[in-house]
Amino acid sequence: MTIGHVAMGQGPEKVIVLHGWLGDHTVYTPVFQWLDFDTFSFVFMDCRGYGRSRELAGEYSISEWGKDVIELADNHGWDTFHVVGHSMGGMTAQWVAAEVPKRVKSVIALTPVPATGVPFEGDALDLFSNAWERPDSRAAILAMTTGDRLGMLWRDTMLERSLVQCTPQAFREYFEAWSQTNFADRLPGLDMPVKIIVGRHDPAITEEAMRATLLQWFPKAELEIFEDAGHYPMLESPPHLAQSMQEFLRRAAETW
């Protein structure tokens, strides 16, 4: 089994990059032109049921995805590597750090779901749980998590991409995975550098939520707030994100 991915760069620092719930690895496309391919080697991975792994079946769990990340690193011959993850991919990055802490040089968590999961109830549960079969729910989530400030064209374009980039089954089951999985007890004391990035316009993954979770668990964690972004900094402010990520990765590499 070979998980779908795209490799870029020939640098000595190895980086595996994970997408979020509403789309595949191509969400990072606006960032590509700002990447330093002499310093870094990037692998942009698609989890099972998404993008280049769309036809690859599985249980669609966080642990399965994390194991696929480790296998991908093994297949590339990478003994050590950095992990970048967005949203539910940020949760998976935390899982990988807990599973193979001696191999993970650093973690970048972009508007990440914390390792506690995100309990839903009431209207929020209805909105998120039926998004696998209701495009209007996906559209509402896209608008809400970016502060409803990017307009209908952006929202509708993102919705169209989301509908074709993953299977309905994977989308449905990954919601259960990232909302209900809890492995927070495995994280306290992990000493790799961690950078957390949240967007000021994201009402879901907030500064307060990060201070109560990841910043408590990881002693070497730091937080940056993007004033010009919501839940999708790679789409809303790509040059800023590329600069911030790579500056942190360089610092983390120096301390390894």
Q: Report the pLDDT value the prediction gives residue 101, as an integer from 0 to 100.
A: 98
Q: Is the pLDDT of residue 127 over 90?
A: yes
- Summarize the confidence of residues 105-128 as an average pLDDT: 96
Q: Where are the domains of the chain?
A: 5-255
Q: What is the mean pLDDT of the chain?
A: 97
Q: Is the pLDDT of residue 1 over 90?
A: no
Q: Report the pLDDT value the prediction gives residue 222, as an integer from 0 to 100.
A: 98
168/146 Cα distance (integer angstroms): 23
How does pLDDT run across 75-108, given as a tens digit for each residue?
Answer: 999 999 999 999 999 999 999 999 999 999 999 9
27/167 Cα distance (integer angstroms): 17
Q: Report the pLDDT value the prediction gives residue 256, as an integer from 0 to 100.
A: 86
Confidence category of residue 6, pLDDT binned at 50, 70, 90: very high
In words, the CATH class of domain 5-255 is alpha beta
How does pLDDT run across 56-65, given as a tens digit for each residue?
Answer: 999 999 999 9
SS3 content of the chain, % helix, strand, coil (to 5): 45, 15, 35
203/122 Cα distance (integer angstroms): 17
